[in-house]
Amino acid sequence: MSNEPARALPRARRAVVVWLWLCVLSLLVMIVLGGVVRLTGSGLSITVWEPIVGTLPPLSHADWERVFALYRQSPEFRHVNPTMDLAAFQRIFWPEYLHRLLGRSIGVLVAVPCVYFLVKGYLGRQLVRRLVLLFALGGLQGLIGWLMVASGLVDAPHVSHYRLTLHLGMGFLLFGYAAWLAIEQTLGGFVVTNGWPRLRRSLLGFTALAALTALSGGLVAGLKAGHAFPTFPLMAGAWVPAGLLAMMPVWRNGFDNVITVMFQHRVLGIAVLVFALGLALAARKSGVPRHARVAFDLIVAAVLVQVTLGIATLLMFVPVSVAAAHQGNAALVLGAALYANYALRRWPEHVELPADVRISPSAVPLAT
């Protein structure tokens, strides 16, 4: 295990760090591409799950006709796209195909270098266990994705917004877990056993709120609530729209009522912005080190971009590029929050330690 600072990483650890960040970047692209699939109405174009055979796209006209024939049996074709021809089908096929192909590619990107680095002796035992968990979660995500698609192949010509939210949430979990591993391997550092307890708790609260807001965005997407209320800050001409509690039992409104789902996502988004600004101010007043202040500033920057993208998505009536960027930037907000959590709990090896801060005698588990 190396105690050298991150700016002078040994070759083995540097290789692992680059690989982990490639995994993080791939997962971010996957989240954005998932948004594109949803926004272009491509998610139900492939009606079978073939993890191995499905790696190759249709290569001949006969292949295309076979895949299109399967789609014509789906509720979406019968109820939404009954006049669609093969050329139009091909346009919705490719985003979904690329989404699935990227998912398979990420599995290879995680597994193959992991085996190589393990054989070379670059990985510690604890890091290997974490990487196995990452791979397993990725496999589970593939299954969840198929179950989501399957929900739109029976009767209703759309996927379950519950399963869509679960799929999106698992995507954020994978991204966050991989980002934490990458941050840990990049920065190293020792475990801080005291220091800024109130700020730590507040930051955990912010991270939970940001995650909840991201999940609520899944409900918004699944119910197409952004199309229903393309205005801001008012909804249907009011600050608090009518019909928030129209469903019975009342708890269903937060999950199934388009009005309530849209309203609560806006409220949560504003709360995240206020919370982020308050955290950054508190961090400066608390005297946290520079690397931690930078982390809190990154949170504010990511949240400001996220709010801007969210408002633009509404006012521009949900354009694919802006809405997909909004979904991807939600992952960056969570990533910034994780980095801030790390900065308050792990002391970088090259940063001078204040007299009132105590650390554990053991460093975080690093590649060799």
Asked if residue 226 and residue 166 are part of one domain, the reply reads no
Edge-to-edge strand list for the sheet holding 190-192: 346-347, 190-192, 359-363
pLDDT at 193: 60
Asked if residue 274 and residue 131 are part of one domain, the reply reads no
pLDDT at 24: 98
| Distance (Å, whole) CA 142 – CA 136 | 10
pLDDT digits (tens, 9 = 90+) for 215-240: 999 999 999 999 999 999 999 999 99
Task: Please indicate, yes or no, if residue 277 is contained in any of the structural domains.
Answer: yes
Give the pair of three-digit tokens for residue 345.
Answer: 């709990």
pLDDT at 320: 96
Domain final position from 165, 189, 213: 189
pLDDT digits (tens, 9 = 90+) for 276-307: 999 999 999 988 888 889 999 999 999 999 99
Q: What Å distances lie between residue 47 and 40, 79, 154, CA to CA?
A: 16, 16, 11
pLDDT at 5: 38
* Residue 340: burial class (beta carbons within 10 Å; 0-12, 13-18, 19+): buried
pLDDT at 290: 84
Asked if residue 198 and residue 111 are part of one domain, the reply reads no
Does the pLDDT at position 6 exceed 50? no
Domain enclosing residue 314, as ranges: 190-347
Give the pair of three-digit tokens for residue 246.
Answer: 């129209």
pTM for the model stands at 0.91
Nearest to 335 by CA among 209, 210, 188, 198: 210
| Distance (Å, whole) CA 124 – CA 117 | 10
Asked if residue 311 and residue 197 are part of one domain, the reply reads yes
Asked if residue 216 and residue 151 are part of one domain, the reply reads no
State the total domains in the chain. Answer: 2
Task: Please indicate, yes or no, if residue 289 is contained in any of the structural domains.
Answer: yes
Q: pLDDT band at 7, cuts 50/70/90?
A: very low
Asked if residue 48 and residue 16 are part of one domain, the reply reads yes
pLDDT at 297: 96
Does the pLDDT at position 2 exceed 60? no
Domain final position from 189, 215, 230: 189
| Distance (Å, whole) CA 169 – CA 34 | 12
Asked if residue 128 and residue 27 are part of one domain, the reply reads yes
pLDDT digits (tens, 9 = 90+) for 78-132: 999 999 999 999 999 999 999 999 999 999 999 999 999 999 999 988 999 999 9
Domain final position from 171, 189, 207: 189
Task: Please indicate, yes or no, if residue 140 is contained in any of the structural domains.
Answer: yes
Could you give the angle at the alpha carbon of 338 between the alpha carbons of 336 and 341, nearest 5°? 115
Asked if residue 259 and residue 171 are part of one domain, the reply reads no
Asked if residue 156 and residue 12 are part of one domain, the reply reads yes
Asked if residue 29 and residue 78 are part of one domain, the reply reads yes
